[in-house]
Each structure stands twice: as C-alpha cells, then as structure tokens.
Structure 1
C-alpha cells in the first residue's frame, strides 16, 4: 500500500513541476535587469534622456575616440577665421546673398540654415535662395527645424528641381533634456499627437559627388553621432554648440555660413562663433566685409590640412575586397 501511495505522490509532484514550467518567462536573463525608463516616465514624468550617463562626454571610456575628439577640436580652432556677423532683415537676406555672389564673387562650402526657435521662415527662404551659386560643388547644406518644419522640408527636397540640386544624405536629431529646457519646441495649435514632438531635426544634404572612401580631404565621416542631447553646459541661446560642431567635424571646409531666418530676441541671443559667418535680423555683431573675409580664408586655407594621426584615429567605411 505504501508503494502505491509513494507512486501517486511522485506523479503529483511531476505534474506540479510541469505546471510551474509553463508559467516561467523565457526572456533572456539580461532583460530581467533592464531599466525601463519609458515606463518610469509614465509614472514619474522624468524623461528617459535625463538618465543617460554619458551626455556630457559621449566618448567616455573610449580612449581612442577621446583623443580623436580632442585633436579635431584643436585643429578646427587652429584654422578658424575670426567670427563674422551680418545684421540683415528677413526680407533682405536673399538680396544680400545675391550681392555677395554677383558683386563679391563669394561662395561657401558649408551652409547651415535655421536655429532652435519655432518662428522660422525656412520654407519661403529656401524656395528663393540662390542655392546653386551660393554653395560650391561639392558642398554641404544643414537645415534645422522642428518636426512641423521637417515635414515641409521633406516635401521641398522631394521636389524634382531640388532633388537634382541636392542629395539628402543624413538626418540629424537634437533632443532637449526636459520640458523646462529653453530648446523645448512649442506645439502647433492643431497638434493633437499622442506623443510629444520635442526633438529638432536636421536634413544634411550634399551637392556634387563626395565619396566616403576616397574624399577624406573633404569629409570626416563618423566622427560625430547622428543624435545630440542637450548638456548641462549648453548656454541659453538660439543655437547650441553641438549644432556647429556636427558641421565642423563632418566637413573639413573653412568657408561656413549660418543663416538664421527668424527673430530670436534678447532671451535667446545669437552667439558669434569663430570660423562662421552668421547672418540674421538679431545678429548683434555686424562686422562682415567681403575683403576681410577673403583675407581670413587666405590665411587659414579653404580646408583643414590633412593630419596623419587624425586619419589613423577616425572611423572609416570598410573597404570592399574585390578579387
């Protein structure tokens, strides 16, 4: 009798074990320790990007990349022109650029348009801008705008005329750290989206032909990431330094123009930056002169010189092995 009972108990125990196995989660072991910051945001309101630990130093723990970033920054500073500003009203931006092109024979290799304010007239400006004559070939165009502006730009850059002028290469993103940030974009009155559109977008376009593998004297690909997050040392203003650094690190060109098609006011000032000509209605420094600018370019050169150490450190596209 005891043998029969023992057999029954043994079968019952095996049944309990099989039932327990059915309720065990088969997720990988590392998922049990993952911090779910999206879920944390729902309960606390704290945004996920505020928990990223290497915002201040994105290459922390990577000595090779730290050396590369340091050398690139020193090289850019060494071959910068003095800061130039051009104070011009919004309706005079296009005529002024036409004068620079026709009378002064000026062109730029890097043109950035836009800032981190919502009241920008980017679309009308781009439809009138003498872009073919303003930007050299090869040349680079960086256009920053909120999510609503990017929708407009996408339609414009998909236009057959613009598609012939520019090849849309990359989309860059800047994210403010929270809703109290001065860089937090406002929403349209009819915006009823479920998620907050708090990021700023940039279309990076190329005119002419540039190849990653062979044109290292023109571009330094993969030095920066496509995503930038606001840091604690960001000064209040219309343009964070990260926006300028992306362009400086990508292209080796020194002829850089930034057009700010908006009034920014005293609360979001436009800060001058060495190596750039910045034009807009609220630019405080009005010192641009074509002769002085050409002399500055002659002094520093139109491109950064090739540095063998930087070339050895910077990430490169893999070379295909052709038999």
Structure 2
C-alpha cells in the first residue's frame, strides 16, 4: 500500500498561506487611515492631514520646473502693484467711468475673496462686466458654498449666458473652523453638515480653444483643488487665488474687485501685475495714465518661451484617419 506524501505537504502550505494572508489583512487594518473616526475623537478635519498642501507638485520635477519658470516670467512681465481704495457703493460708478471715459479694459477680472459679507450679486447685475473685460477674456468669481445657487442663477439667465460661459470650477478648503476663511452660516442656521468650501466659477467671454490658443491660455497647470496652509493666513486673499489666474491666462491686464470690508486683521495687500479695488486695500495709488504706460512697457501678454511650451500640459494630439 503506497502512501500519498503530497497531501499533507499541500495542506501545510495552504495553512501557511492562510495565516500569511490573515496577517497581511490584520496589518492593513491596523494601519488604515480612518480620518472619519479620527475626526470624531479629535475634531481635526481630514484635510488637515494632507501632506503636500505647501507643494502640490512635490515628486513631479517637470511640473516644479514649470512653476518656477512661469513664476519668474510673470514677475518679469508684470505692471507695478496698484490699489484703488473705494467704498462699496462707489465701485460700480468708478468702473463705468473706467470703461466709458478712461477706455480701460482688462483681460482677467477676479471678483470676491474668502469672506462672507460680499455684495457680489448686486455688483455683477449693476455693472456692464462684459465691457470691462476684453474678448477673449476671463472672469473668476469666488463665493462660499452657501452662494452657489445665487451665482448659478445669475450665470444661467439670458443676459449672462450670451456673454459668458462657465468653463471651470475651482475649490478652496480651509483646514479647520478656527481658520479666517471658514464661512459662517446665514442667520445662525443650525445644520447637520456644514458646507465649508469656497467655489470659484471661471467664465470665458469670446472664443478660446485649448488646443490652438496657447498664446492666450495655459490650461491644466494648477489643480482645481487648493487647501489652506499656514502661509495663506497672512492676507485676506491667499496668493494661490492669484497664481491660478496668472498661470492660466497669459494676459497682463488683471483686475481684482473685492466688494466687502475685510478689516485690518486680514489686510488686502497689493500684488504686482494686478489692480486691486477694495474698501480696505493697503495702498491707494491707481492712476489710469501711469497704468497704461506700465502695460505698454510689459506688453499685453506674456511672450512665448520654448522652455515653458515644452513643459506645460497640452491637449493630446488627435490622430487623423488615413
């Protein structure tokens, strides 16, 4: 009678594999990052644990090089920083004067910042914004999650829909409830889930195509999501909000309208290459003649650089049918 010696050996091997798999599963479970459970016990929001908020392109050397090259190029072709300090009710008349009498237009206009008490809707409905922006041109509108329906309604009405089309949506997230950018609730509402993020609608007027208009836009350079860092708390407007617009459009005529009081604790700083209109902007030095002279010196658009063109993301080349 012969004995089958392989059966016990296979059984032992199978048993070892089961024990090994069980150990791996136990280890995976032990090291699982359960931030929901962590929030319940500590109150720390999950986004506080994201590691690359200071440098989102960490580990991507080509993108890091692209960011450095674009930052240097933008700095070398920027107008002086200008501030226009006005009360909110003076903004629309002043902007209309710039349009009709000063003949000033901008290629990039950003409206709003990360504060709740903004009068964005009345300003947008009372201002001929399409005449303030050249064609093609770009409009960035920042608002809290509570104002999404309001701004969506504006962008869907006939007057706006014919002039602007919504192209992208950007999101900014504060790291905790102590953040100066944490949006409050309307009328002390009590809700189970709070909407804490800020949204930006990027709208285009005129015709711009990603595949053919690289002299006007550099798409997909920045991510659509930005998380607050320690450095962003130094101003009412995080620098990343400006960098997204600067990296996207190659235009040098940029205007930022802040229809809100921000106070002295969160100052509105001027920035090279921008005209910033705000009741609390730290510098009040805008002069239309000097501004036009500055733009004539630096040019209306950034020059094309082969090194940047090779590195920046582009639309995939479509294959032609032979």
TM-score by length of 1: 0.89
Contact map agreement 1:182 1:236 (CA 8 A) in 2: no
Q: Distance in 2 between matches of 1:103 and 1:31?
A: 68
Tell whether the 8 Å contact from 1:85 to 1:277 is kept in structure 2 after alignment: yes
- Indicate the residue corresponding to 2:150 in structure 1: 152
Counterpart of 1:66 (choices 55, 64, 86) is 64
- The answer to whether the 8 Å contact 2:180/2:233 transfers is no
8 A contact 2:166–2:203 mirrored in 1: yes
Among 30, 47, 50, which residue is 2:48 paired with?
50
CA distance in 1, matches of 2:140, 2:101: 25
Deviation at 1:302, TM superposition (A): 0.3
Indicate whether 1:229 and 2:227 are aligned.
Answer: yes
Equivalent position to 2:89, from 88, 91, 94? 91
Tell me what 1:129 maps to. 127
Q: Where does residue 108 of structure 1 map in the other structure?
A: 106
Deviations 1:91-136 (A, max 9, x none): 1111101111111111000000001111000001000111121000
Residue in 2 aligned with 1:198? 196
Change (3 A) 1:35 1:91: same
**Conservation of the 8 A alpha-carbon contact between 1:101 and 1:134:** yes
Deviates more, 1:81-90 or 1:185-194: 185-194
Of stretches 40-49 and 92-101 in structure 1, the one that deviates more from structure 2 is 40-49
Give the C-alpha shift of residue 248 in structure 1: 0.4
Q: 2:172 touches 2:225 (CA, 8 Å); kept in 1? A: yes
Are the equivalent residues in 2 in contact too, given 1:172–1:203 (CA < 8 A)?
yes
Name the residue aligned to 1:3: none
Of the structure 1 ranges 224-233 and 188-197, higher mean CA displacement relative to structure 2 is found in 188-197
- Map of 1:77 onto structure 2: 75
1:38 aligned to 16, 36, 39, which one?
36
Shift in Å at residue 32 of structure 1?
A: 7.6
Q: CA deviation at 1:30?
A: 7.2
State the 1:33 CA deviation: 5.0
Inter-partner Cα distance in structure 1 for 2:32 and 2:163 = 46
Q: Determine the C-alpha separation between the residues in 2 that align with 1:214 and 1:103.
A: 34
In structure 2, how many angstroms separate the alpha carbons of the residues matched to 1:92 and 1:47?
Answer: 40
1:190, distance to aligned residue in structure 2 (A): 5.2
Check whether the contact 2:270–2:276 (CA below 8 A) recurs between aligned residues: yes
Per-residue deviation at 1:196?
A: 2.0
In structure 1, stretches of 5+ residues that fail to align are: 1-12
What does the per-residue CA deviation read over 1:227-254, in whole Å, with 9 as the maximum and x for residues that have no partner?
1111122243210101000100000000
- Matched position secondary structure for 1:233: helix
Do the aligned partners of residues 316 and 191 (structure 1) sit closer, same or farther apart at CA in structure 2, a change above 3 Å counting?
A: farther
> 1:234 aligns to what SS in structure 2?
helix
Q: Does 1:141 align with 2:139?
A: yes
Counterparts in 2 of 1:32 and 1:168: CA distance versus 1, 3 Å:
farther
Looking at structure 2, the residues matched to 306 and 31 of structure 1 have their Cα atoms a distance apart, in angstroms, of 51
Secondary structure in 2 matching 1:274 = coil
Which residue is 1:5 aligned to?
none
Q: In the alignment, which of 284, 294, 297 is matched to residue 295 of structure 2?
A: 297
In 1, the alpha carbon distance for the partners of 2:249 and 2:28 equals 40
1:264-304 CA-partner distances (Å, limit 9, x unpaired):
11111101100000012112311111110000000100000
- Answer with 39-48 or 86-95: which moved more: 39-48
Distance 2:102 2:272 in 1: 21
CA RMSD of aligned residues (A): 2.4
Separation of aligned partners in 2, 1:190 and 1:214: 49
Q: Which runs of 5+ in 2 are unaligned?
A: 1-10
- 1:314 — aligned with what? 312
Q: Deviations 1:123-177 (Å, cap 9, x if unpaired)?
A: 0100011112100000000000111222210111111211111110111011111
Q: Tell me if the contact between 1:259 and 1:280 (Cα under 8 Å) persists in the aligned partners.
A: yes
